[in-house]
A and B are shown apart, each in its own frame.
Chain A
Amino acid sequence: MALRDGLQGRVTVQGLVKRYGPVNAVDDVSLEVGSGEFLALLGPSGSGKTTILMSIAGFEYPDEGRILIGEEEVTWAPPNKRNLGMVFQRYTLFPHMSVLENIAFPLKMRGIGRAEREERARAALATVRLGQMGDRKPAQLSGGQQQRVAIARAIVYQPRVLLMDEPLSALDKNLREEMQIEIKHLQREIGITVIFVTHDQTEALTMADRVAVLDHGRLQQLGAPRDLYEAPETAFVAGFIGETNFCEGRLSRPAMPGDPILVTLEAGGQMQATAAQALPAGERVKIALRPERLRVLPAGTEGPTARVTEAIYAGNATTLMLEGQGGQLLRARIPAGAGMHEPRPGESVRLAWQQADARAFLA
């Protein structure tokens, strides 16, 4: 199957609002997914990611906004008229049908003849590397195999878009990682648009071309995995993606995004940072600094100091727990084998960082 042409697999969400009572489960979210793109919807539970997916699928109807697939508006179309593929969180293979019958089901619903159904079902089963399992019942397959069959069933009718609702969350860690790579390869191979809901940031960063980070129904940031990690636009994204030290303080002068600033910390002392968003003077700000960007140097020279309270060795890196001025707790990560200074617990150290790595947000 070749890459689908043009805009057929594009998904557009415009100003989506979904209310449950007084709560906005989805609060004015707009996003566009390109044809053949892999987009992850990432957020904690209650962030609205599943509601957005269900609105695209047609199981939820929005209170405001529009949904387009390709050029066509589908906001009010029932699920069975949208021609989308979907893989669910729980296993949804029909237990009374064999694996092949399950895969052939959507073809049967489309009035395709028995011979062609079987041929296409077998081909789809081979795509997910389960060629020999066609005659089994779903209950005879492992969880990972069941989800592969579910994927085969969702792509056998060549939908333009494949929706995935935390399809790997029931699998154990090793299998999950294996399946992440496999789904990614499959997606590239058949060039289908994928919208993938997950609460697992590693999964989102590993698989997706772009990630939409959501919190409390609002779209926090939409960007490539690298941008989210290295240039988060909000304090939520900085805290949600990867590990981060937060230092709270106040700013004396207003700053525009990218400006170097000097923040007076609540714990005492001052800290050099860069404004990640427009910051008015006098507001409380939060500075985010990644543990691996915090450098730990031997004591005795100028600069902020801290005391090592704990050193946790984890093979590829050592994590230091630090107590800085005014009891500020920090973490630093020292990669193994880089020949860097590795202080012991109780030792006093000096801290240093690049001003650009310390990003200040509105608290």
Chain B
Amino acid sequence: MSGRRPSAFLLGGRRYSPASSLLLAAPFLILIAIVFILPLATLLHESLFVPGPTTAHYARAFEEPVYLRVMLRTLGIAVLVTALALLLAWPLAWVMSRSKGLGLALLAAAVLLPLWTSVLVRTYAWMVLLQRNGVVNQLLQQLGLVDAPIRLLYTQGAVVLAMAHVLLPFMVLPIYSALKGIPEDYTRAAQMLGASAWSTFREVIWPLALPGVTSGCLMVFLLALGFFVTPALIGGPQQMMIATLVSQQVREMLDWPFAGALVGILLVFVLAITIVFKRAVRLDRFVGSA
């Protein structure tokens, strides 16, 4: 029940000393240091010390309206994507947690198969659906709902929809796992004690599923903030998000220090949100430990 863990971890009933633990984790840690920490540090260093020690790059990101608008749009889209994903994921996770056998296998495949498919493929699929002569537009015209093809691609709605779809597994899985952990007997007990379906949800199911909901939201929100492929292809320049902006600065403007500043802002924001969420929802506050 306790969220605390001993520093040395358990494996096959054996306890490893901190030194051997470090040794076992070393290959991974070295890899991370070379391919992630080092480049990131270099980029952040450039943002603060090129050409000389300066905060000008950061100031520019907040002062020029065009960049501020990209950051606010990124934030807004991430919030909408999280909300839409939660809305779609909850009923699905609920049904999955109450299914067995073939039904569960099919639902799990529907959630996991897209996860194993390239994000690029899934994004192109959305483009096929949403383009000017795409499936959706053809259908709308055949049904007589519109006379001419309407613009679906390169709208904020399209970006939010496609991103919510791509990130959906990250919302479904933690919620499913939280709901799976709630025995059906709790629902029965609540009903027996006079609770309606709504009260059972509000008083019992939701609070117990909250840790799963929180981690799902956190994961989707953070992934959405830094998402590149889908918003770049579906949103186009009109719906530019921060990751696309960073890429543009690096590849087209060759302005590495400014790109570093944008990355720094995103990083600080992500870390701050993670810490706030972790503090706000602690499992041991909900379930007392012996």
Contact = CB atoms under 8 A, between A and B. Distances in A.
Interface stretch (B8-16, B232-240, B281-289): B281-289
A140 B196 CA distance: 28
Contacts of A78: 191
Counting chain B residues whose Cβ lies within 8 A of the other chain, the interface size class is 20 to 34
B195 interface: yes
Contacts, number: 73
A59 B188 contact: yes
Interface stretch (A90-98, A287-295, A327-335): A90-98
Contacts of A58: 191
Contacts of B199: 109
Interface stretch (B71-79, B108-116, B121-129, B201-209): B201-209
Interface string A314-326: 0000000000000
A85 B1 contact: no
A229 interface: no
A104 to B, nearest CB: 10
A109 B193 contact: yes
A59 B192 CA distance: 9
Interface in A83-126: 83-86, 88, 90, 92, 94-96, 105-106, 108-110
Contacts of A110: 194
Contacts of B192: 57, 79-80, 84-86, 154
Given A96-B287, A105-B203, A139-B287, A88 B194 contact: no
Nearest to A89: B185
Best-surrounded residue of A80, A84, A88, A139 (most CB of chain B within 10 A): A80
A136 B287 CA distance: 10
Contacts of A109: 193-196, 199
Interface of B: 1, 183, 185-186, 188-196, 199, 203-204, 207-208, 286-290
29 contacts: A78-B191, A79-B188, A79-B191, A79-B192, A80-B196, A86-B189, A86-B192, A88-B188, A92-B185, A94-B189, A94-B190, A94-B203, A96-B207, A96-B287, A105-B190, A106-B194, A109-B194, A109-B196, A109-B199, A137-B287, A137-B288, A138-B288, A139-B287, A139-B288, A139-B290, A140-B288, A140-B290, A153-B193, A154-B192
